[in-house]
Amino acid sequence: MLSNEMIIEAAKEVEEYVKLTRGYLHENPEISGQEFDTSAFLKKEVKALGLPIEEVSTTGFIATLKCKNPGKTLALRSDIDALKMPESETNTVGKKKYVSKRSEACHSCGHDGHMAMLLGTMKVLVKLKNYLSGTIIFCFEEGEEIGCGIDKMLTVLSKKNIDAIWGIHLTSFMKTGTVSVDPGSRMTGAALINMNIIGRGGHGSRPDLSINPLFGAANVLMSLSSAWVNRIDSNETVTLGLATINGGTAANIIPDKVSITGTIRYFNVAEGEKAFNLIKEVSTYAAKSQNCLIEFDPDMRIAANPTINDAELSAFAAKHLNEIFPEGTLIHQEKWYASESFNRYSALCPSLFVFVGAGNEKIGSTAEHHNVHFDLDENAFITGVISTTKFASSFLNI
Q: Which residues are documented as binding site for Mn(2+)?
A: 109, 111, 145, 169, 370
Alpha helices in 165-268 (DSSP H): 213-231
Dist CA 35 CA 111 (whole Å): 12
Instruction: Classify residue 23 by burial, with Cβ atoms within 10 Å: 0-12, 13-18, 19+.
Output: middle
Cα distances from 362 to residues 31, 91, 100, in angstroms, run 30, 11, 22
**224-228: which pairs have CB atoms within 8 A and are 24 or more residues apart?**
224/279, 224/282, 224/283, 224/286, 227/278, 227/282
Q: DSSP secondary-structure letter at 143?
A: T
SS3 (DSSP) at 386: helix
Helix (H) or strand (E) holding 94: none
> Residue 105: which residues within 8 A CB-CB, separation 6 or more?
29, 30, 31, 82, 83, 84, 85
Dist CA 325 CA 317 (whole Å): 12
Instruction: Classify residue 183 by burial, with Cβ atoms within 10 Å: 0-12, 13-18, 19+.
Output: middle
Closest to 167 (Cα-Cα) out of 157, 181, 156: 181
**CA dihedral of 149, 154, 159, 165, whole degrees rounded to 10:** 110
Evaluate whether 114 touches 170 at the Cβ level (below 8 Å): yes
* Known binding residues: 109, 111, 145, 169, 370
Strands of the sheet containing 53-55, edge to edge, are 53-55, 61-66, 133-141, 69-79, 164-175, 351-359, 179-180
Q: DSSP secondary-structure letter at 146?
A: T
Dist CA 175 CA 360 (whole Å): 6
- Other Cβ atoms less than 10 A from the Cβ of 48: the count is 10
